[in-house]
Amino acid sequence: MDSPPVFFNPSSPDAGLPVFWLVVPAAGIGKRMGADIPKQYLHLAGKTVLEHSVERLLQLPSFKALYLVLDKADEYWSSLPLANHPAIRRVDGGVERADSVLNGLKALPAAENDWVLVHDAARPCVTLDAIKMLMNKVCDHPVGGILAVPVSDTLKSVESENIEATQDRSKLWQAQTPQMFRYGLLRNTLEQALINKMAVTDESSAVEMFGHQPMVVAGRSDNIKITRPEDLPMATFILQQQAHSVEEKK
């Protein structure tokens, strides 16, 4: 049974209902894009990539606030209409993505058992239904969980441009975001992983390093991450198709 929503109202108590916070790390440069500006500020279907990503999250009926983690010297965000949104708080980022996420977590006035959803700024095509499904399925899990999709391509292990082996893909899933964990668990494991100089590739990896097993919730293949120049036209097409689908349902 779906959990009832916690409608956004920062001044009211939550009457025992699950409490959700949102963290969006957006302090990166995106070197692989080869652009003059950070990739989250590239234009996509009439808006910046970051605006699309954040606006998707703001449609959720159940969250306390969205903490946007930006480079301290970021001079782009303040010019966007969303910069004055009452649900958004700005936080300074760190050297790496994991540092930025931890900075966002440290800024949250959250309780240990509150839920935190971390979403990549460069995933503008995530659907509201996918996020709601993650929230509903994971809210009773003891650890947390992530959106992911099964790997469909054949995977090769490569060394110096030579194939070493073909990997068994039957148990492999491609991680996406949002990733949702209890505030205390995520903050503590991420902090310890960084102190011990462990390689943190996403929030789930930090949690897994300390013996926890997050849940996988099947997402959608169109929840792509913009990493390279060719991803922009693909994302444009996906957003157009999603908008068309919404219009058809009206």
Question: Domains, the chain, ranges and CATH?
Answer: 20-249 (3.90.550.10)
Residue 159 pLDDT > 90:
yes
Cα angle vertex 193, ends 170, 53, to 5°? 65
Q: Is the separation of the CB atoms in 95 and 153 below 8 Å?
A: no
The pLDDT, as a whole number, for residue 7 is: 33
The pLDDT, as a whole number, for residue 17 is: 81
Residue 6 pLDDT > 70:
no
Tens of pLDDT, residue by residue over 175-192, are: 999 999 999 999 999 999
The pLDDT, as a whole number, for residue 54 is: 98
The pLDDT, as a whole number, for residue 31 is: 67
As beta bridge partners, residue 158 has: 163
**Which run of H or of E encompasses 21?**
strand 20-26
Record the pTM: 0.90
Residue at 187: amino acid letter: R
Task: Over range 128-139, report the average pLDDT.
Answer: 96
The pLDDT, as a whole number, for residue 28 is: 85
As beta bridge partners, residue 48 has: 43
Peptide bond into 25 cis (omega under 30): no
Residue 189 and residue 196: Cα distance in Å, rounded? 11
**Residues 6+ positions from 122 with CB-CB distance below 8 Å:** 30, 39, 40, 49, 53, 225, 226, 227
Helix, strand or coil for residue 244?
helix
The pLDDT, as a whole number, for residue 101 is: 98
